Structure 1
Amino acid sequence: MADSFKLDLAVRPRRLRRNASVRALVEETVLRPADFIAPLFVVDGKGAPEPIGSMPGVSRLNIVDLVKECRALAKLGVPAVALFPKLDANYKDDSGSAALHEDALILRAVRAVKKALPELVVMTDIALDPYTTHGHDGLLTAEGKDVANDATVAVLVKMAVLHARAGVDFVAPSDMMDGRIGAIRAGLDAAGFTNTAIMAYSSKFASAYYGPFRDAVGSAKAAGTHALDKRTYQLNPANRREAVVEALLDEAEGADVLMVKPAGAYLDIIREVREATKKPLAAYQVSGEYAQIQAAAQLGWLDLARVRHESLLAIKRAGADMILTYFAKEMAAELGK
C-alpha cells in the first residue's frame, strides 16, 4: 500500500539519511574531546571535594584532587582546563588584594597542575570577583556605585603577569573593562611573557545564567545576591552589533582567542563573531545552561546524554572552535567509546 504511489522527484534528501553509515559520511559538524575546555574550581586545604548544590556533578577540589581530575581529563583527550579559585571569606576585601598575593591559591594550583601535566593547557580567569567582598569584577569608584575601569585594568595587568610567571598557557580576562586586552598584552610582553596567550571574554553578556557559577566561587554569597548587577560593564543581551564591536576591539588589541559567553542562548552572536573574524573562537556553556539541563534530566523531562550532546553540537555548529563546558569529562568519555 505504501509503495502504490510514487512522486517523480529528482532530488530526495532522505537518500542521505537512510542509515547510520550514510549519515556519518555527510555529517557536517563533529564533536571531539579536543574541542573541550573543562572549567574546574579549586579550594585551599586538604578537605574532601565540596559538591556545588546548584551544579550537580561538579565539586570544588583541593589542589591534590585537582591534579587527579586534570590527569583524568587529559587521559580522555581533553586538552585544556580553566581554573577558578574559591577563597575563604577571610581573604576577601573591597580591593580584591588577595589576587596579587605571590602565594595565592590559584598560583599554587597552576604550578601543581603544570608540574604534573606540562602538556595540559592551563587557563586562568583574570578578574577580581572571586577576591572582592562586593562580588564585582573590579575596583569600585569612590562613590561605590560602579566599577572603575582604568584602575581595575592596572590591577588586572599585575594579576596576569603573576599568572604567567606561575606557568599558565592562557590568561583569560573576563572582566569586560575597556582596553584591558591591550594593557595586559603590553604588560605580559614587558615582563618577558611574549608566549603567554590571551583568551579574551570578548562578548560577555550581563546574563541571568551565571547564578550557579557565583555559588561556586563565592561571589554570590559575598554580594548577598545571585542577581548582582554588572550591566555597566557586561553586554546588554539585546545587542548583536555591540558584541561584534567588542570582539573586534579585543582582536585589534592582541587577543589570541575570542569568546562569546553564554553560549546556548547566544548562538546568533557566535555566528556573527565567527563571520567577523578569522581568530579562533571560544564559547562558554555557562553554569546556568549546565544546571538547567541537569535539573530537567533529574526530573525525567529530558534525556541527559542526548541533550548535552545536542547542546554542544549546536554551539560548535554556530561557529565555536572550542567550548568551555562542565560536561567536558562526560562528553570526552562518551565520544571516546
Structure 2
Amino acid sequence: MAASSGMAQSQIQARSYQTNRTVRTTAPELAVDDLISTSATVAPTVLGTATLRVTFPKPVQPGQQGILVIKPSASLATVLGGMSLRTYSTSAQNPDNPMQSMAMSTSPLIQVTLDPSDPGQQQVKFMATQAFDQIELTATTLLNTSYSVDVSAVFATVAPLPVQLTAFRGKATETGVALSWETASERNADYFEVQRAESLADGFSSLGQVKCAGASTQQHIYQFADATAAAGRHYYRLRQVDLTGTEIFSPVVALEAGLLAGLTAYPTLATHTLHVSGPAGAHLRILDQQGKQVQAADIVASQQQQLDVSGLPGGVYFLRDASTGLSARFVKAGDR
C-alpha cells in the first residue's frame, strides 16, 4: 500500500535521508519511499546508538505536527524509554543545532497512538515549536537490552490548522483545577475535548467538551473546570476537532492539584500560641490592620504548625499565604 494513500492532502512525506547522519540503520531508503509496507530498521547496539535523519521537501511550520510510523520489536514502553527525536532546519545558521529535542517517554509534546491503517504499527506525533525540515530518530540500548524499531514512513502536516492556539494554562484551586486557553483565529473548528492523564505512560481520558467559535479571526478565551481532580500531579491537553473530523492535540500542561486546601488559624482569640493548618510549603505572613508584616513563617510537610504570637501587641491580625493569597483572621489578646 502506498504511504501517500493514507495521507491527507494537507500532509507531506519525507523524501530523502542524510547518509552522514544515519548510523546503524538498515535500508534507510525504505523509510522515505512510497510504500508503507516497507521499512527501515533502526537497531542500536551496546557499542553505540542508532540514528535515522530524514529530510522534507519543504519546511514544517510551528504549530504543525511531525508524524513517524513505527513498529517496535519489543514492548512499546521499553522501546520508547530508549528513543528520542530531534528536529533540524537546513536553512539555520548552524544546521546541526537541533530546533527541538524530545525524549519519547517523557516529552509532553509527543503522543503515541495506533496507526489506523495497521494496528501492528504506532504513530508517533509531536507538535513543532520551531520550523524544521529534518527529523532525526535516535535509539539507544537500555541496560544492554537489545531491540530495534522499523520506520515505515515519516510525514508532517503543512496546511493551516483550523485553530491557532496561543495559550493553554491550568491553575489549582480549592475546588479543583481551572483550565483556560486562548485562540487567535479559528477556521472550520468544531469543538475542544479536554483530556487528563495521571501519568504520561497511562494515556489520556476525556473530561468533557467545549464548543469552538467555529470561524473567527478574533481572540477567543475558553475555560473549563475539573472538579474531580484528586490531590497530586495531573497532565492536561486539548484535543481540537474540526468539522471534517481532523484532530490536533495541544501541548501538555502539568500541575499539582489539591495544594490549595483552606488556610485556618485557631483559636480566633490567641494569647500565646496560634495553631495553623494549610497547604504544605505555604509561605505565611502575619499582617497588622494597616497591612504591615509583623511576623513570617513557613508550613512544613505536616501541613500543621504552631506559631508563637506572644510577642505581638493586642489587636486584630491577618495570616496570609504569600503564594496563594489565602488568608485567615485572628485576634491577639492584649496583656493584662
Higher Rg of the two aligned structures: 2
Higher fraction of strand: 2
Higher relative contact order (CA 8 A, sep 6+): 1
TM-score > 0.5 by shorter chain: no
Q: TM-score scaled to structure 1, two decimals?
A: 0.26
Higher fraction of helix: 1
Q: TM-score scaled to structure 2, two decimals?
A: 0.26
